[in-house]
Amino acid sequence: MRINCLGGGPAGLYFAILAKRADPAHDIVVVERHHPEDSFGWGIVFSDRTLDTLLQADPPSHAEITRRFHHWSDIDIHFKGECVTAHGHGFSGISRARLIRILQARAEALGVTVRNGVDFAACPSRSDCDLVVGADGIHSTVRGLQTAAFAPTIRESSNRYLWLGSTRLFAAFTFAFRETPHGWFNLHAYRFDDRTSSCIVETPEAVWREAGLDRLSYEESIAFCERLFADVLDGEPLIGNSRRQEHPSGWQRFASISCRRWWHDRTVLIGDAAHTAHFSVGSGTRLAMEDAIELARSLAAHPADLAAALARYQAVREAVAQRVQETGFRRMEWFENVADHARLSPAEFACALLTSSGRLDHEELRRRDPELMQRMAPRTPQGDN
């Protein structure tokens, strides 16, 4: 089968690896406009469960990915001048650029052709194949070219965010909340290698405007965030990313995307092109790579019937993506309304945040960190919003 994979992010590259492993006779070309070292973004978080899935799917890339991991189990929540630490949460972080390099090297070693530096919009042969895989991310051109077929729904967060790096090496996954005369800002930060942490600063659109951030340059915005979170950053700088998008200040709004159909004729969407989940639940890359696993599996299960393969792929993945998106919505809304929780004590606030996506309940929090839950007693139920 001749397969053109449009987009060489985690979804596209991982699919190419697995499809080639399943059938080395497939002729697979990945078209990617950037080079791996120019990849956008900072770190990526995976849970221990995701790592098991990656191990089953492709042991060599799993070995490379886990060799580069930074692992941690605590969450620090800075609120009203206090830091509440929640124990027992296991995550691993890796640099996005490194993940892309690992996946690209593995794909090429298996015989996949990766064409970096090529925008497929200017690539006449992009649909000259048996299957087009739209793995071109949140702003997918493949999806945009056939909106009637894919029927996407797009809901933008009312918050603005800026995705930065820092040389501050956070010991735990860190959330920090700051009240300013204009309203609340929050920071999500975690270390992902021995030199860098990923830092996302977020605030409601109205606060962003009132603080004058819509009129600041990218560099001025970074300086503003450095001043705001100077204590949590321990005096270390925030670092910008050459791949900033949309607003000149670099501040973006997260778009939650879902599509009624994930495939049409010979074209199929995977990863962020098909669905997105808010970054605060840290699952977008996992979902993208699991889509890749299932698409390769479905093609192998129906080698002579493309429509059956693509229908099976959507049937298996859609419910999973919807579940994660729902947890993402709940978290996104919680972060859009931080002011509503400002009356809580730091311990109550920490529990409300940790349970806000609905993935964790108080029972599970108690199992992971009995001491934290004791600080909540006797008003436990009130903290869960």
Ligand X SMILES: Cc1cc2nc3c(=O)[nH]c(=O)nc-3n(C[C@H](O)[C@H](O)[C@H](O)COP(=O)(O)OP(=O)(O)OC[C@H]3O[C@@H](n4cnc5c(N)ncnc54)[C@H](O)[C@@H]3O)c2cc1C
User: Which residue ranges make up the site for ligand X (CB under 6 A)?
Assistant: 7-12, 31-34, 41, 44-45, 119-121, 135-138, 141, 163, 200, 271-272, 279, 282-286, 288
CB of 253 to ligand X, least distance (A): 10
Residue 12 or 152: the one with the smaller Cβ distance to ligand X is 12
CA terminus-to-terminus distance, the chain: 50
Are β-strands 75-79 and 131-134 bridged in parallel, bridged antiparallel, or unpaired? unpaired
Residue 258 or 376: the one with the smaller Cβ distance to ligand X is 258
Q: Give dist(CA 12, CA 298) in Å, integer.
A: 16
CB of 142 to ligand X, least distance (A): 8
Give the DSSP letter string of 277-317. --GGG--HHHHHHHHHHHHHHHHHH-TT-HHHHHHHHHHHH
Residue 141 or 385: the one with the smaller Cβ distance to ligand X is 141
Q: Give dist(CA 196, CA 335) in Å, integer.
A: 24
Q: Is the separation of the CB atoms in 142 and 132 below 8 Å?
A: yes
Q: Give dist(CA 225, CA 337) in Å, integer.
A: 20
CB of 358 to ligand X, least distance (A): 18
Q: Give dist(CA 310, CA 298) in Å, integer.
A: 7
User: If we measure between CA atoms, which residue out of 38, 42, 44 comes closest to residue 14?
Assistant: 44
User: If we measure between CA atoms, which residue out of 174, 169, 203 comes closest to residue 188?
Assistant: 174
Looking only at Cα atoms, what is the longest distance across the chain? 66
Residue 25 or 122: the one with the smaller Cβ distance to ligand X is 122
CB of 349 to ligand X, least distance (A): 22
CB of 181 to ligand X, least distance (A): 26
Residue 299 or 344: the one with the smaller Cβ distance to ligand X is 299
CB of 114 to ligand X, least distance (A): 11
Residue 320 or 345: the one with the smaller Cβ distance to ligand X is 320
